[in-house]
Every structure is written in structure tokens, then in C-alpha cells.
Amino acid sequence: MFDTAQYRRKEVEIQRIDSIMRMLPPDAQQVLEAGCRDGYITLKLAEKYQAVTALDLNLPSITHPRVACVQGDITSLAFADKSFDLVICTEVLEHIPPLMLETACAELLRVTRRYLFIGVPFRQDLRVHATRCLHCGSINPTTGHVNSFDLQRLMSLFGNMHFTKTEYPGRGVYKTNRLSYAIYKHYGFPYGSYEQEEPCIHCGKHLEKPRLSLPARITCLFAKGLETIQNKTGPSESPVWIHILWDITVQDSLKCQ
């Protein structure tokens, strides 16, 4: 089982949340959090803003006088255009099927009248901690992350608007290499993120760790050793996340000039 409480205490996670709260604008009232999960950020937003709509694929259960819970899908939001002063969407876009990604971004942009805040993993190596589903045999990228982002990609997804602020919280992104990945793949990805909450992205069943013979375990340990050397000697100080805040009213005034 994925231990959410333990994860929230990790230093990188604290840095991520601090960055979000520091970057968010003070002058908003109606806020949409698209993809709120357990409501950890939602409750922080409720301390800061008058009215927070917490949306997720499964109806969230967050009890707070300023929070309204809504079931919904960010690829098709049931809100009128410009319904919110601020739309915040973190740790969501990396999960959206690539064919739906542009639609999801357009929807987030459509429902904000002023601010849009996006947070995603930065240049994530999607091969790291990949898993293989024992049920359907397909390969899953770690924690169901199917998209990797950098500033350029995010900018182009949101119409290349000028951003107001950007931050890159967290340090030390873990990378793999072709040989280690090939070995892991051969043995069914023994070091995959099997404790994740997300099920198989192909068949929806729970992911289970493969059982390996001793020779297989030794070969995989060799692959792991290679990866460790690579990460200790390579440029490991790459940020973990990228956060961007846009003020779309600034774009409108730039266009008018």
C-alpha cells in the first residue's frame, strides 16, 4: 500500500507544496483545484481562498465550509467559460492519455478568467520504476505517468502565453540507462513502483511485483548497481518538478497593445 502520510513528510514533497503555496496569487476568490486526490492541497487552498471547488475523477470527500466537492474529468469540465479566478492543476497532466492532453489543457484554460497554475514532474525519465502488469502483460510507466514535460512543452500546450512565474522545486531526479532498462524489462521490472495507488493503465487491475529466481535477482542487482553509479556520477541535480503560473488577463492586455 502507498503510504500517503509518509510521502507528505518527505523533503521533496514539502518543497513541492511550499513552492505551490508561495507562487499562488493572493487576489483570487473562486478557485478550482482540478485533480485534488486526498484534499491535502485543497485544505491549504481553503485557508487562503473564499471558495474552493475540489474536483477529481472519483467524488472527493473533503469536509470544509469553503470547499465544494465535485466529481469530474478534466478532459471535459462541466463549468461555464471563465468560471474561476484561479485554476490549479498539479500532478495530473502526466497521467492524461497523450491523445487527450491538448483537450485537457484547453479545458483548464477555458474555465479560468484570470490565473492558471500548473505543476508537473520536470523531464521525468518515464522508464524509471516502470512496472509490468502480471494480468495483461503490458508495460506501465511509473505511477501511471504517460507524459514527460519541460518548459517548452508546457508553454506550447497552453498557447505559448507569457507566464507570470515559474519555479523548479526539488532536486535530484533519478535516471536509468538502456542496459539497466533492458535487463529490468527482460525480468518483468522487479524494481517497479508496485506500491503505487494507480492500477494498470491498460487493464485497470492491481499491479503486483514479479517473483524472481536467484540468478535473475543477481542480474537485476547488477543493473541496479549500474544505475546507482550513473546517478552518483551524472548531472543528478536536475529539478523534480516544474511549476508555472499564468495570468491570462496580462496576455489580453499584451494583445491589445
By the rule CB under 5 A, 136 interacts with Zn ion: yes
CB-count burial class (<10 Å; 0-12, 13-18, 19+) for 126 = middle
By the rule CB under 5 A, 229 interacts with Zn ion: no
Q: Which of 14, 21, 57, 203 binds Zn ion (CB under 5 A)?
A: 203
Q: Which of 69, 200, 220, 244 binds Zn ion (CB under 5 A)?
A: 200
Q: Which is nearer to Zn ion, 89 or 133 (CB)?
A: 133
Q: Which is nearer to Zn ion, 205 or 211 (CB)?
A: 205
**Rounded to whole angstroms, how far apart are CA atoms 230 and 223?**
11
Query: String of b and e for 143-177 (b: at least 16 CB within 10 Å)?
Result: bbbebebeeeebbebbeebebbeebebbeebbbbb
User: What is the closest distance, in whole angstroms, from the C-beta atom of residue 149 to Zn ion in the complex?
Assistant: 25
Q: Which of 22, 186, 202, 211 binds Zn ion (CB under 5 A)?
A: 202
Find the binding residues for Zn ion in span 75-134 (CB under 5 A). Answer: 133
Q: Which is nearer to Zn ion, 10 or 206 (CB)?
A: 206
By the rule CB under 5 A, 135 interacts with Zn ion: yes
Cβ atoms of 130 and 191 within 8 Å: the answer is no
By the rule CB under 5 A, 224 interacts with Zn ion: no
**Rounded to whole angstroms, how far apart are CA atoms 67 and 54?**
7
**Rounded to whole angstroms, how far apart are CA atoms 97 and 15?**
27
Find the binding residues for Zn ion in span 163-192 (CB under 5 A). Answer: none
- Total interface residues for Zn ion by CB under 5 A: 6
Q: Which is nearer to Zn ion, 118 or 200 (CB)?
A: 200
At residue 174, φ and ψ (nearest 5 deg) are -90, 130
Residues in contact with Zn ion by CB under 5 A are 133, 135-136, 200, 202-203
